[in-house]
Structure 1
């Protein structure tokens, strides 16, 4: 990619909101083909990780804060709690989405890789992560195929996701049925497998096996040094 592109993307990421200005995230830029191939194998064999010129791995990073606290004579006890881990994940997500906006503005394309959490310990070893640091997701960055006919994937109706004053107990079945039909039309236009959204959701959360190893994430995070009290 053009010189300075990576730095511009990261500058946009750093402009995102961050809780208490703790900036509890980091990002690793991976361009080496061999390393991308190894990471692709750990992330459900996502071939576009290998094909894209750049892979950004976004980290929830408490290690930097721990080191700063200890350098100032404090234990950093506040980092031992689930709140701090959640804060770091949110910070990373906000930063990454800012990066995506910049990527789009540059005429590039991107895709989030949640499968980076399938084998978090192996990913940590590959990237040389210190304790209390974990890859939250990856983000491939590259050039869209301008000849490919694409469109914006439909989202749920606002009536399903927007609640006023208090949470409604259940979505209207008619709204879900309408969305299923709309998504099916999109899938047909894009030559994708045609399946109802409600079925996709049921399959994705229907069993422990569907989590593809992420059901062990709690114990893995503790092995990576997070206290999670």
Structure 2
């Protein structure tokens, strides 16, 4: 096992950071690593917005559900799906690109490109001893986020990533079993096998919470997911995406 794999296997979300900003050199290195990620057909359909201004961080922390670590960190990155530059390219080259960039396919490309870039950035940060945490909570109020970050049409802020020097490191949450994630040749559809794997994982997660909280919490993963998914959240997203001229076709 090499250092890169060890870094990835040791990942955990960091929510307590030291009061120490990242250097400009570290920021550039992380962004360069993000840009080195694979991109569909070289389209590079994403942008990254770095936030240093404390007032903006505090506002984003409030939007994200009053998560203090969105404000208190070494640096905050916001990853965006971005097809605005491709509209401009069409204008410059005299080509009608709108039917393509307004398609569901290109919207998916932008989402995937941004996610691949972000994970490269995360691994780069962790490889030099920094910690990270993804922030999906900025999607709670995307109209306010777009106004705050002044993003144009065809640009959608997807998630934030806090990066910094860890002040507290939690235990790593056990992931789903290998057999539950990896399917050989075809998708495993034996329900009894699936249920058995879920039950075994539920027991593992319940024991994890029990030990971590000293018996104050013992919920199962299936219980946790069912309770979360029963609540409808961010149901405005389709309208928001279409309003920003993405995924129209």
Aligned partner of 1:226 in structure 2 is 246
Corresponding residue for residue 83 of structure 1 = 105
Q: Which has the higher contact order (CA 8 A, sep 6+)?
A: 2
Alpha-carbon shift at residue 103 of structure 1 (Å): 0.5
Q: What per-residue deviation string (whole Å, max 9, x for no partner) do you get for residues 83-136 of structure 1?
A: 111100000000000000001011110000111111111111110001010011
Point out the more displaced range, 110-119 or 9-18: 110-119
Q: Which of 182, 185, 190 is 2:207 aligned to?
A: 185
Specify the alignment match of 2:63 in structure 1.
42
Matched, 1:18 2:42: no
Q: TM-score, normalised by structure 1?
A: 0.92
Q: Number of aligned pairs?
A: 223
Distance 1:195 1:186 in 2: 9
Q: Is the 8 A contact 1:150 1:190 kept in 2?
A: no
Written as runs of structure 1 = structure 2, the 5 A alignment for 1:31-180 is 31-76=52-97, 77-145=99-167, 148=168, 150-169=170-189, 170=191, 172-180=194-202
What RMSD over aligned residues (CA atoms) do the two structures have, in Å?
Answer: 1.5
Q: Distance in 2 between matches of 1:203 and 1:91?
A: 31
* Pair 1:3–1:81, CA change in 2 (3 A): closer
SS in 1 for 2:133: strand
Moved more, 166-175 or 13-22: 166-175
